[in-house]
A = this chain, B = another copy of it.
Amino acid sequence: MTSKPVSLKVLAAHLGLTVGTVSRALNNYADISPVTRERVKRAADELGYRANQNARRLSIGNPETVGYLMPRFGNSIAQPFSAQLLQGLGEALSRRSWDLLVVQSDSSKDELAHIERMVRSGRVGGLVISRPAKNDARIRLLQELKCPFVVHGRTASCADYAWYDVDGEDAFVTAVNHLIELGHSRIAFVGAPLQHQFAQDRLNGYTRALEENGLTADPELIQIAEFSDDGGEIATNMLLELSNPPTAVVCLSDTMALGALAAIRAHGLQPGVDVSVIGYDGLKFGVHSNPPLTTMAQPQAHAGRRLGDMLLSIIDGDEPSQHQELRRAHLVRRKTDGPLHLTTAQTNVSNREETT
């Protein structure tokens, strides 16, 4: 279907030169006279010549491409991050005119197979993965394949690979501290299964902050559910129906926090006055929730760009361990954090309503 592009051969013939000469001319070799160099270049873009990249990359032995493993997402409300991250990655790569390949897999098993195929077949020169599991098989695989990679997030043993992460533990420490300063002491944690490292990190921050303030972490107040708004709602329902419900809850993500708000409202309670909630992510949508969601916002803007630059450096030969970047999230107060309102929260426990 596609019209045949002009090759180096026809360009050379057109010029009465050999392919080698033309190639060197286009690549600014010193052994080509300035006049023929210009002549070649003029002819090249008159004929619309573009070097075939498959051929070129085969020849130079460099795929000039990196892969991005899309995180598999359930029914998460939004992945606004993916887009931003891809954009940043693309920026970093385009400065060298490298390409960005996105890869996705259904199961974690064929994700590994995918990775192996990608790197063994020379399709990518590096990979960026995100949301590592606690003992992520992908990381081990990439290490033994000796394939450069960076990870968005990090695991417990992250000493010898490159990563960019925002400190979830720290974030939840400040979130909980903030709630304690507001007078709360029964603070709950709404989380998701702990196979993902970030889920564990944030839980750790929660418990650490409690301990540091001399509060004992009540196991009842730790609710694990599906990583979605529905999960957040279910978990929060459980919490509110406890005999001694929390007066504040920190949520693993803004998405889960939205579910928490729904649950609270459904119980006839008022988020931010009867029970406070703090989310995590800093989704812009949070401005429009009911009421606007207080959250720990992560500096997401430059993640992709940084990740891309790091990966490129490593491919250039840098030691992966030199490229580790930890950012902090910051509290953005909107309307769901408020001072303790003991009476209201403790009385309206038995309301059970349904959200639409």
Chain A residues in contact with chain B, CB under 8 A? 1-3, 5, 48-55, 57-58, 63, 70, 73, 75, 77-80, 82-83, 86-87, 90-91, 94, 99-104, 116-117, 119-123, 125, 145-148, 229, 258, 261-262, 283-285, 287-292, 314-315, 317, 334, 356
Which of A70, A80, A356: most chain B Cβ within 10 A? A80
Cα A121 to Cα B65 in complex, Å, equals 15
Chain B residues near A288: list those with CB within 8 A.
229, 258, 261-262, 285, 288-290
User: How many whole Å from A164's CB to the nearest CB in chain B?
Assistant: 19
User: Is B52 a contact partner of A58 (Cβ separation < 8 A)?
Assistant: yes
With both chains docked as a complex, state the minimum distance between the C-beta of A345 and any C-beta of chain B, in angstroms: 21
Copies of this chain, complex-wide, total: 2
Shortest A234–chain B CB gap in Å is 15
Q: A290-B290, A334-B356 are in contact. Are A122 and B5 (CB under 8 A)?
A: yes
Nearest chain B CB to A68 CB, angstrom units: 8
Which B residues are CB-close (under 8 A) to A94? 104
Q: Contact partner of A145 among B2, B49, B334, CB < 8 A?
A: B2
Shortest Cβ gap from A144 to chain B (Å): 9
C-alpha spacing A83/B76, complex, angstroms: 11
CA distance A90 to B148 in the complex (A): 23
The answer for the CA separation of A315 and B48 in the assembled complex, in Å, is: 22
Closest-by-CB residue of B relative to A51 is B121
Known: A63-B54, A70-B87, A87-B104. A290 touches B291 (CB 8 A): yes
